[in-house]
Structures are given as structure tokens and as C-alpha cells.
């Protein structure tokens, strides 16, 4: 098998990867979609796309997501009729070469809850269970009221100053990642205020057609424990309704307060993704 390595994709390459992803979901059930862009990686020059080709046909691919220099997430998908022939292992092996070359000390293998092959490869390399995330979809119901909070769209001539944005998104680790996310054309960010004070924020990005991915949701540490998270979700869901589409989010399975909050806002878990960590 030949492995094509790059830090960007052509529209044709992206379409072929999406086809493989859909084939995998049809066979094994729903799983988190790969992020087929390097726009949020801390170093855009590090290769992040690995395509496994058999006789010129895409057999599988791996994507590295590297929002910071301390950790890389590796997600791989192999066409069902090509599984069991070493494609997973070859892709992971080649990707680990690039991660080590970049000096990134830790890899998270992304493993779906129906992904025994990915789990076996992760364990083969010595990775151990780290954490899990539930993918939650909103099933309906009214958005929570938000009498104390307002929000303002970030960006443009009428957007808030960046120092206020940074204060509101102070829960989001990494200023470089925040800047990259705000500059991404496929994302919309909102600063949340309590009176005139920035105290939190949230973002949307396009997931699959017909869905909105709600992420980077949070309240600044100094304002937590006051019931403002539920109000923030009310703002986010109102903004989502203006855009249309099903609202989707991920939450750490160990974050019980957040899980409880999202359940109370009409979300339900459809599947889980596990992460296996490997220190290099």
C-alpha cells in the first residue's frame, strides 16, 4: 500500500475521504466525522493527512488534529472491504513518524464505541484508555430562558474588541487556537455578557449537511457556580434556531455537571467516542 502524505486536501481528495467515512458508518454504525481541515492546527506545515492507496484507490485515511503543540489526535477510517489487511497499522505507523518529528509528546487515538480494529491498533502501540466523549443531538423542547445574559457575534466592524473576546473565552485554552477558530470562515463565534461584562462564549461550525456543531461552550472560571451555564445554552440554542439544522455537541463522559445540563436542555446521546493516550 502506498501512503500519500500532505498538509492540505484537494476537493476531490476530501470527497473520497468522506465517501470512505460514510461506508464505515453504514457498516459499523454512526461515529464522529473526521475534521478534514488543517486550519486549527498549531503548525500548518506539519503533515496531517495520510491517504492509504491500493492500486490507486483510497483504501483508508488518517487525520491528525493538532490544536496545540502538546498533543495530537489521530482518527483513521478504512474502507470495510479493505479492513484486516494492515491498513490501520500502516497509517498509524506513518502518522506517528510525523508526530515524533514535530516533537509532539502525546498522541490520542480516536476510537469509536464500535471500533474494535482501531482499539486493537491503539493497544498494540501501548496506548491506554484516557477519556470518552458522548456525541449528543438535540431532540427538541424550548430553549432555556436567559434573563441575565446577552450575546454578541464576534467579528466584523460591529464585533466586540479582541481583549473582551479573550476575557469571555478565557476558559478556552490556547490563544493561538482561539485566534484560528475565530478566523475560520466556516465558524461563527458569540461573546456572552452579564450586563456589560464578558463572561463566556460559544461557537458554531458546520458538521454534516443539516447539522450545526456547537462547541467551545463555556463560562469564565470566575463566574461559574451561579447557574449561568443554562442561560448561556438558551442563548446558543436561540442562535442555532436562526440558522436552522439539528444541533450537535460533544461532552466528556466524566463531566457530570455538563452532561446533566445538556440533558436538561433537550439533548440525548447517540454514540460515544473513546480516546486512547500514548506518551511518546
Q: Determine, yes or no, domain membership for 7.
A: yes
Read off the C-alpha cell for 238. Answer: 436561540
Last residue of a domain, one of 74, 101, 126: 126
Q: Are residues 201 and 104 in the same domain?
A: no
Q: Are residues 19 and 111 in the same domain?
A: yes
For 54, other C-beta atoms within 10 Å of its C-beta total 14
d(CA 151, CA 194) in angstroms, rounded, equals: 9
Residues near 209 by beta carbon (within 8 Å), at least 6 away in sequence: none
Q: Are residues 35 and 83 in the same domain?
A: yes
pLDDT in tens, the chain (280 residues): 999 999 999 999 999 999 999 999 998 888 888 999 999 899 999 999 999 999 999 999 999 999 989 999 999 999 999 998 999 999 999 999 999 999 999 999 998 765 667 788 888 889 999 999 999 999 888 899 999 999 999 988 889 999 999 999 988 756 677 777 778 878 899 999 999 999 999 999 876 778 899 999 999 998 998 989 999 999 999 999 998 889 999 999 999 999 999 999 999 999 999 999 999 9
Domain of 144 in residue numbering reads as: 138-272
Q: Are residues 98 and 149 in the same domain?
A: no
Residues near 84 by beta carbon (within 8 Å), at least 6 away in sequence: 117
Last residue of a domain, one of 71, 100, 126: 126
Give the distance, in angstroms, between the CA of residue 215 and the centroid of all CA atoms in the same chain.
8
Q: Determine, yes or no, domain membership for 280.
A: no
Q: Are 247 and 211 in contact (CB under 8 A)?
A: yes
Radius of gyration of the chain (CA): 19
Q: What is the pLDDT of residue 210?
A: 82
d(CA 105, CA 41) in angstroms, rounded, equals: 15
Q: Which residues of 242-263 are buried (b: 16+ CB within 10 A; e: fewer)?
A: eeebebbbebeeeeeebbebbe
How many domains is the chain built from?
2
d(CA 262, CA 135) in angstroms, rounded, equals: 11
Q: What is the pLDDT of residue 116?
A: 66
Q: Are residues 115 and 146 in the same domain?
A: no
Q: What is the pLDDT of residue 274?
A: 93
Segment holding 78, helix H or strand E: strand 71-78
d(CA 198, CA 191) in angstroms, rounded, equals: 7
Read off the C-alpha cell for 130. Answer: 484516557
What is the number of helices (H) and of strands (E) in the chain?
7, 12
Residue with cell 502506498: 2
Amino acid at each position: 500500500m502506498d501512503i500519500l502524505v500532505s498538509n492540505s486536501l484537494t476537493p476531490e481528495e476530501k470527497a473520497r475521504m468522506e465517501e470512505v467515512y460514510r461506508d464505515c458508518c453504514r457498516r459499523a454504525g454512526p461515529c464522529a466525522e473526521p475534521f478534514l481541515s488543517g486550519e486549527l492546527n498549531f503548525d500548518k506545515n506539519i503533515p496531517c493527512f495520510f491517504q492509504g492507496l491500493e492500486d490507486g484507490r483510497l483504501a483508508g485515511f488518517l487525520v491528525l488534529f493538532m490544536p496545540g503543540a502538546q498533543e495530537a489526535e489521530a482518527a483513521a477510517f478504512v474502507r470495510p472491504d479493505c479492513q484486516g489487511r494492515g491498513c490501520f497499522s500502516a497509517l498509524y505507523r506513518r502518522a506517528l513518524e510525523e508526530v515524533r518529528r514535530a516533537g509532539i509528546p502525546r498522541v490520542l487515538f480516536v476510537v469509536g464505541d464500535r471500533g474494535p480494529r482501531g482499539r486493537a491498533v491503539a493497544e498494540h502501540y501501548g496506548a491506554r484508555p484516557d477519556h470518552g466523549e458522548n456525541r449528543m443531538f438535540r431532540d427538541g423542547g424550548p430553549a432555556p430562558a436567559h434573563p441575565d445574559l446577552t450575546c454578541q457575534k464576534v467579528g466584523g466592524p460591529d464585533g466586540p474588541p479582541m481583549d473582551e473576546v479573550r476575557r469571555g473565552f478565557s476558559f478556552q485554552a490556547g490563544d493561538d487556537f482561539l485566534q484560528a477558530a475565530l478566523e475560520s470562515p466556516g465558524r461563527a463565534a458569540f461573546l456572552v455578557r452579564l450586563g456589560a461584562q464578558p463572561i463566556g462564549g460559544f461557537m458554531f461550525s458546520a458538521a454534516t449537511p443539516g447539522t450545526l456543531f456547537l462547541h467551545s461552550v463555556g463560562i469564565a472560571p470566575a463566574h461559574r457556580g451561579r447557574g449561568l451555564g443554562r442561560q448561556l445554552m438558551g442563548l446558543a440554542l436561540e442562535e442555532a434556531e436562526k440558522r436552522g439544522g439539528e444541533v450537535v455537541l460533544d461532552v466528556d463522559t466524566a463531566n457530570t455537571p455538563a452532561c446533566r445540563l445538556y440533558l436538561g436542555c433537550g439533548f440525548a446521546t447517540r454514540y460515544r467516542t473513546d480516546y486512547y493516550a500514548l506518551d511518546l
